[in-house]
Structure 1
């Protein structure tokens, strides 16, 4: 019983701090988030916050997870647009780019920024506290959410394209890595204003580079099977 009460208390305290962090992010932006602001808003001291979160990056990571709900909910819709593994994967990229470039600070925290710890452990911990956020998601989508390493996640998914004759085994890891590098490079340039792109331009260009990197390794006899028509146009 004591362990059960401790877990209930921990979940309650996490809720207080994550609610406060979410409010600060929404009202002031990710760059204005501090432990003190979050603790004050939650009605506790900074030292209490550190009893539940390793550091600020830890708390920002978990708070950012809340902002990915629209992406997670919309992902199955995009996957349904594809008729084979590579098409589904390309449409999943459209969904990811759509949401990530419209909330760059959130997705940078989750996929680019240094966290001072293992993001896989953070994510597993998050869903132990909030397992209900996985309820109703297809098993395939759950694996997307739980596998934080984007390249590994992509490789596991597009492996099916090998059986479909759309991709050679030797190209799976290459495609998974190069597309991640494309997104990270574009996201960094976009956030740092190295390129004068609007949000939709950044999305469109990223998807174009992702598509080009994929189609060039698909056997020429199979390329007509890959139809990708993203809805975002500038």
Structure 2
């Protein structure tokens, strides 16, 4: 990495760290360019040399906060003795962290960041590859995918190969699981239900387990729409 690239990464980190601090202390909805620039010690115009708009800075900062989950996941999955158990543990860990910080996971997987979300994620991990250092090699491809359907299919592949989920049902099963998680995340985010992160995880995992236990019994006579997740 040349000196200019090193300087770019250093400056981006200043602004990302300042944004993370504001999110943790005041909430993601209270992040402003002025607050970030004041905390980082630069004028507001400087931020736009590194981020096209505020939503991009928030997206990057949310990815940085995702590291708590990526660091915890390997040890969490080690408790599983077969592909199905590991897949369930992966989802349980994801639910725990996402329902504890719903605004962060909504910013990454559901919010509108002005297009190019995949490109933003690719750029972030190109600039800050150490954020994935705690992940074993077999999990990194999943985290480098922005599309949630693709991420889940990578995670589910072992279960398909081991016969826990029929190949022809895999796409539908992963869609059902994704929709259940997104629905619960929205309810927690909007405080429609007074669930703690633990309670939301418990309920969501009951449905996911039920789906997986019956994964080979389903008979789907329709194709899923081809769309971005």
TM-score between both structures, scaled by the size of structure 2: 0.89
Distance 1:9 1:49 in 2: 14
Q: How far 1:196 sits from its partner (Å)?
A: 2.6
Q: How far 1:79 sits from its partner (Å)?
A: 1.6
- Answer whether contact 1:17 1:38 (CA < 8 A) is retained: yes
Distance 1:135 1:100 in 2: 20
| 1:134–1:198 Cα change, 3 Å | closer
Residues 157-179 of structure 1 deviation map (CA, whole Å, 9 limit, x = unaligned):
21222221221111111121111
Alignment partner of 1:68 is 2:66? yes
Q: How far 1:43 sits from its partner (Å)?
A: 1.6
Residues 61-99 of structure 1 deviation map (CA, whole Å, 9 limit, x = unaligned):
111122122211111122212222222111100000111
Q: How far 1:210 sits from its partner (Å)?
A: 1.2
Residues 124-172 of structure 1 deviation map (CA, whole Å, 9 limit, x = unaligned):
1111111222334211221232112222111122122222122111111
Aligned to 2:186: 188
Unaligned runs of 5+ in 1: 221-234
Give 4+ residue runs of structure 1 displaced > 6 Å after superposition: none
Aligned to 1:140: 138
Aligned residue-pair number? 218
Distance 1:184 1:25 in 2: 22
- Answer whether contact 2:143 2:151 (CA < 8 A) is retained: no
| 1:91–1:24 Cα change, 3 Å | same
Unaligned runs of 5+ in 2: 219-229
Distance 2:125 2:196 in 1: 34
- Answer whether contact 1:39 1:45 (CA < 8 A) is retained: yes
Matches within 5 A, 1:45-194: 45-194=43-192
Distance 1:140 1:80 in 2: 13
Distance 1:181 1:136 in 2: 28
- Answer whether contact 2:14 2:40 (CA < 8 A) is retained: yes
- Answer whether contact 2:165 2:212 (CA < 8 A) is retained: no
Across the aligned residues of Structure 1 and Structure 2, the Cα RMSD in angstroms comes to 1.7
TM-score between both structures, scaled by the size of structure 1: 0.87
Higher mean displacement: 98-107 or 38-47: 38-47
Distance 1:134 1:74 in 2: 11
Partner of 1:159, secondary structure, is helix
Distance 2:38 2:217 in 1: 58
